[in-house]
């Protein structure tokens, strides 16, 4: 049975005394250093150290950042790096991240202090982006290597990488080339210096040669271990997103606070209802409030039973469950208009257990202010005193309750606490409605709603609205009013081209829009050639960013041409080509996503306030956190908590949430979780600063689309 660290320490002392060993032996047993589970990030303002810091942030792994460009920053010396706690030597950081292998000036006492610290406590160092040179274990690129663009290069994880920190990858690491006119990646490819203890984990072909050069590798020397990264990146680029987990696992030995997984959930809105079709002549959607034309009739798009069969077969083939957000009035109206017949509803209800279901209100009304549609764009109607007219509490409550009762009668497997309102209405929407409908929170309370879907594009932060916590959802640029690819492209052209090209001019008015087009897409080929790859890239970026937020489409996208599937397949095919079986996509329902986001927010707040302390002594890890806080950690397979297995398996390790009860959480690591020793060879000059490794002039450090996409 596992004992706490304190009990184990006392037992060791008692055993020493009992067998009559000299006192020095007891002191040696107690002198095992304490390693605090915190990372030191030393930044020079470049994108690579920022990317690693962002990865730590997102995972919930604590770190201390020192910006070398800031005046008055702390000095890195022996006292800053280590001290003594309760008579035991303490290393204050479990890993060090530097912008390159030596960012300091010649003869720097700070670099000397770091080198001594790393040797003394077996602390690994990550060189976030460094020049290939002997001091980093590599030949200069001029000796048979390469320096230059690696846009579009297909790098590979080596056998050592797959057996080590990158075991969650299938092998290929493609470098992005999103725009041929923009330089996106720069690298130094080189081979190890003769005699160097250097193991490459990720490499790529050296142009014009039959050899391969390292992009990520481990250099062991002078009792130290360095992860040498020789390509520049930022936090949004796919190549970094693929390798980020492995970088963190390498530097922490797979033992750290925080956790990271790859998530993908897809909500399908408006199920049972019909979505009105885009009109390419009017450049709007008849039936919408901003498309008033007396001669234009709505042209509805609605799924068929065959579409349901296709969705089920697709789910089974992909191992992913869709969440259907339903409007019961769509079926009620269908039966009223067709002598009681609704083949779609019959099919969906018969196959209800194949999907997850979410209440989307009964008839999908706008639940914010009362809309004045006599003007375009619409505005909020006002009362005689000039105050905003709001949809009432009773109207909102009825929409929620009636839809729920209908779903319960149909025995849909609902979670009664989940709700997505039509158009996310009731919540603030700019510019017309800058505040929430005050009646919404009251109606949510009437119906015991605890999780409320919101639009991530306008309300990205999780927040509380009455009894409900929001779950931000990513809108996919596959339009609700399109069931055919040609209609999707026509509307896409209208939105994202200039007025001179027959478009809306939105991009001219908002030049930061990331999806602007230089010219209209071909309606026959534009969807497959342009829209699908772009939407796949954006969604896959979310999946690779430890981001559990769901994406949403509409039932119209599963009908007619079934235009959602090429995008969804693109995401999943792209993922499957990159990741090993031990890192499957995690597919959560809305409530569980909300819980995950809420736990993360509480955890981040506790870290920020310094309420969490964690450290490792030998094979034992102790975490002290406030009572009631859910603690998140990652550890090697075989780790135990209170004698039971800790966490659940993912990407070669285990991770999970554990509630704190105010007393220390004690994890016991498996015997295999030892820190690899570094070779004690003659050191490379630790005080010789690295050359400038910033990207050459004219090569961008940013991908050609903003972070918000």
Give residue-wise pLDDT tens across range 40-92: 999 999 999 999 999 999 999 999 999 999 999 999 999 999 999 999 999 99
Residues 390 and 242 in one domain: no
For residue 222, is the peptide bond before it cis, meaning its omega torsion is within 30 degrees of 0? Answer: no
pLDDT tens for 474-485 read 999 999 999 999
| Range 465-477 average pLDDT | 97
% of the chain with per-residue pLDDT over 70: 91
**Domain interval for residue 319:** 266-590
Residue 12 belongs to a domain: no
* Residue 678 within a domain: no
Smallest CA-to-CA distance from 190 within 201, 175, 206 is with 206
Residue 605 CA, chain-centre distance (Å), reads 19
Q: Does 693 fall in a domain?
A: no
Last residue of a domain, one of 203, 223, 253: 253
How many structural domains comprise the chain? 3
Residue 681 maps to a domain: no
Summary mean pLDDT of the chain:
92
- Residues 155-167 as b/e (b if ≥16 CB within 10 A, e otherwise) read bbbbeebbebbbb
238 lies in the same domain as 273: no
Q: Are residues 495 and 404 in the same domain?
A: yes
d(CA 481, CA 478): 9
Residue for token pair 């919408």: 288
**According to the model, what pLDDT value does residue 290 have?**
80
Q: What tokens does 706 get?
A: 């903003």
Q: Please report the pLDDT score of residue 681 as a whole number.
A: 57
Q: For position 3, what pLDDT does the model report?
A: 33
The pLDDT confidence band at residue 686, using thresholds 50, 70 and 90, is: low
Burial of 317 (0-12, 13-18, 19+ CB in 10 A): exposed
Q: What is the CB neighbour count within 10 angstroms for residue 295?
A: 6
In a domain, 23, yes or no: no
**605 vs 118: CA distance, rounded Å:** 30
Instruction: Name the one residue in this structure whose structure tokens are 């790098």.
Output: 155
Quick one: pLDDT at residue 24?
39
The pLDDT of residue 675 is 65
40: in domain: yes
- Cα–Cα distance, 679 to 685 (Å, whole number): 16
Same-domain check for residues 314 and 416: yes
Name 698's Cβ contacts closer than 8 Å, sequence gap at least 6.
183
pLDDT at 704 over 50: no
- 8, pLDDT greater than 90: no
Overall average pLDDT of the 578-603 stretch: 98
Same domain, 194 and 316: no
Q: What's the pTM?
A: 0.92
13 φ, ψ (degrees, to nearest 5): -60, -40
Whether pLDDT at 221 is above 50 = yes
In this predicted structure, what is the pLDDT of residue 688? 78
Quickly state the pLDDT bin for 555 (edges 50, 70, 90).
very high
* In a shared domain, residues 445 and 476: yes
Whether residue 556 is predicted with pLDDT greater than 50 in this model: the reply is yes
Residues 11/17/20/21 CA torsion (nearest 10 deg): 70
Res 705 pLDDT > 70: no
CATH of the domain at 508: 3.20.20
Given 231, 253, 275, the domain boundary residue is 253
Domain boundary residue, one of 590, 620, 650: 590
CA 221 to chain centre: 35
584 shares its domain with 621: no
Q: Tokens 């957000």 belong to which residue?
A: 325
Which residue, among 263, 216, 257, has the nearest Cα to 57 in the 3D structure? 257
pLDDT, one tens digit per residue, over 226-251 is 999 999 999 999 999 999 999 999 99
Q: Indicate whether 18 pLDDT > 70.
A: no
- Sheet with 256-257, strands from edge to edge, namely 256-257, 630-636, 653-659, 648-650
Q: Is the pLDDT of residue 160 over 70?
A: yes
Question: pLDDT class for 23, splitting at 50, 70, 90?
Answer: very low
Q: Other CB atoms closer than 10 Å to residue 70's CB: what's the count? A: 10
Whole-angstrom Cα distance, residue 40 to residue 60?
14
Say if residue 238 is in the same domain as residue 272.
Answer: no
What's the residue count for the chain? 709
Please give the pLDDT value at position 542.
Answer: 98
Find the mean pLDDT for residues 567-589.
98
Helices (H) and strands (E) counted in the chain, each on its own, are: 18, 35
State the CATH number of the domain containing residue 221: 3.40.50.880
The predicted model gives 204-212 an average pLDDT of: 96
* Structure-token match 């008055």, residue found: 72
Residue 26's pLDDT band, with cuts at 50, 70 and 90, is very low
**Residues contacting 266, CB < 8 A, separation 6+:** 320, 322, 323, 550, 551, 552, 553, 568
Same domain, 569 and 468: yes
Domain check: are 121 and 205 in the same one?
Answer: yes
- Give the integer Cα–Cα distance in Å for 264 and 544: 9
Task: Give pLDDT, residue 587.
Answer: 98
For residue 691, what pLDDT is reported?
86
H helices of 410-531, where?
A: 438-446, 485-496, 506-509, 526
> Is residue 278 located within the same domain as residue 410?
yes
Phi, psi of 76 (to 5 degrees): -85, 105
User: Across residues 100-117, what is the average pLDDT?
Assistant: 97
pLDDT exceeds 70 at position 286: yes
Query: Domain check: are 401 and 477 in the same one?
Result: yes
- DSSP sequence for 367-432: -SBPEETTSSS-EE-B-TTSPBPB--HHHHHHHHHHHHHHHHHTT--EEEEEE--GGGBTB-BTTT
Domain assignment of residue 581, yes or no: yes
Mean pLDDT value of segment 580-596: 98
pLDDT band at 19 (very low <50, low <70, confident <90, very high): very low
Q: Per-residue pLDDT for 427 more than 90?
A: yes
Say whether pLDDT at 500 is over 50.
yes
Is residue 19 a part of any domain in this protein?
A: no
User: What is the per-residue pLDDT across 379-402, written as a single tens digit (0 to 9) for each?
Assistant: 999 999 999 999 999 999 999 999
92-96: average pLDDT? 98
Chain segment 337-349, per-residue pLDDT in tens: 999 999 999 999 9
């Amino acid at each position: 049975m596992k004992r706490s660290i304190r009990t184990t320490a006392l037992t060791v002392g008692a055993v020493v005394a009992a067998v009559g060993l000299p006192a020095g032996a007891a002191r040696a047993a107690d002198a095992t250093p304490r390693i605090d589970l915190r990372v030191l990030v030393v930044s020079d303002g470049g994108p690579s150290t920022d990317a690693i810091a962002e990865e730590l942030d997102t995972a919930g792994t604590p770190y201390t950042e020192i910006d070398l460009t800031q005046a008055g920053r702390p000095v890195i010396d022996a006292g800053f790096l280590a001290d003594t706690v309760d008579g035991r030597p303490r290393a204050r950081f479990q890993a060090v991240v530097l912008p390159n292998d030596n960012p300091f000036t010649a003869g720097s006492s700070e670099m000397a202090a770091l080198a001594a610290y790393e040797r003394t406590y077996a602390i690994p160092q990550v060189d976030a982006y460094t020049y290939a040179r002997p001091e980093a274990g590599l030949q200069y690129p001029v000796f048979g290597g390469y320096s230059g663009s690696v846009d579009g290069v297909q790098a590979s994880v080596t056998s050592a990488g797959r057996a080590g920190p990158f075991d969650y990858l299938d092998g290929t690491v493609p470098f992005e080339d999103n725009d041929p006119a923009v330089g996106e990646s720069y690298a130094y490819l080189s081979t190890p210096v003769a005699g160097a203890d250097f193991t490459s984990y990720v490499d790529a072909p050296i142009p014009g040669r039959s050899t391969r050069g390292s992009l990520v590798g481990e250099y062991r020397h002078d009792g130290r271990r360095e992860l040498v990264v020789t390509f520049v990146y930022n936090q949004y680029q796919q190549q970094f997103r693929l390798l980020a987990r492995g970088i963190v696992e390498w530097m922490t030995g797979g033992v750290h606070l925080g956790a990271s997984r790859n998530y993908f959930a897809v909500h399908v809105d408006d199920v049972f209802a019909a979505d009105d079709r885009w009109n390419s002549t009017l450049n709007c959607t008849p039936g919408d409030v901003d498309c008033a034309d007396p001669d234009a009739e709505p042209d509805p798009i609605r799924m068929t039973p065959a579409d349901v069969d296709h969705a089920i077969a697709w789910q089974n083939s992909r191992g992913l469950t869709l969440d259907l957000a339903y409007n019961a009035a769509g079926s009620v109206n269908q039966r009223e208009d067709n002598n009681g017949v609704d083949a779609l509803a019959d099919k969906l209800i018969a196959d209800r257990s194949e999907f997850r279901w979410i209440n989307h209100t009964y008839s999908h009304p706008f639940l914010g202010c009362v809309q004045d549609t006599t003007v375009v764009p619409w505005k909020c109607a006002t009362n005689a005193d000039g105050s905003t007219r709001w949809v009432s509490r009773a109207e909102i409550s009825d929409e929620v309750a009636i839809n729920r009762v209908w779903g319960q009668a149909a025995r849909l497997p609902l979670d009664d606490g989940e709700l997505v309102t039509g158009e996310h209405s009731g919540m603030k929407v700019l510019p017309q409605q800058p505040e929430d409908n005050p009646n919404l929170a009251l109606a949510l309370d009437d119906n015991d709603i605890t999780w409320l879907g919101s639009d991530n594009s306008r309300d990205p932060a999780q927040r509380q609205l009455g009894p409900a916590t929001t779950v931000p959802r990513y809108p996919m640029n596959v339009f609700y009013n399109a069931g055919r690819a040609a209609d999707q492209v026509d509307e896409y052209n209208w939105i994202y081209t200039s007025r001179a090209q027959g478009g809306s001019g939105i991009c001219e008015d908002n030049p930061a829009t990331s999806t602007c087009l230089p010219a209209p897409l071909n309606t026959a080929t534009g969807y497959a050639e342009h829209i699908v790859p772009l939407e796949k890239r954006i969604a896959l970026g979310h999946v690779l960013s430890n981001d559990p937020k769901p994406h949403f489409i509409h039932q119209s996208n599963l009908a007619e041409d079934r235009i959602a599937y090429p995008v969804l397949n693109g995401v999943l095919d792209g993922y499957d080509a990159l990741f090993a079986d031990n890192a499957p996509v995690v597919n959560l329902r809305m409530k569980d996503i909300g819980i995950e986001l809420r736990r993360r927010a509480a955890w981040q707040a506790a870290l920020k306030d310094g309420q969490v302390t964690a450290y490792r002594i030998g094979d034992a890890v102790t975490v002290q956190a406030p009572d009631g806080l859910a603690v998140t950690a990652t550890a090697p397979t075989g780790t135990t908590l209170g004698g039971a297995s800790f966490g659940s398996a993912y990407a070669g390790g285990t991770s999970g949430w554990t509630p704190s009860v105010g007393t220390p959480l004690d994890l016991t690591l498996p015997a295999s979780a030892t820190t690899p020793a570094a070779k004690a060879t003659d050191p490379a000059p630790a005080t010789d600063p690295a050359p400038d490794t910033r990207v050459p002039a004219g090569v961008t450090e940013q991908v050609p689309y903003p972070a918000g996409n």
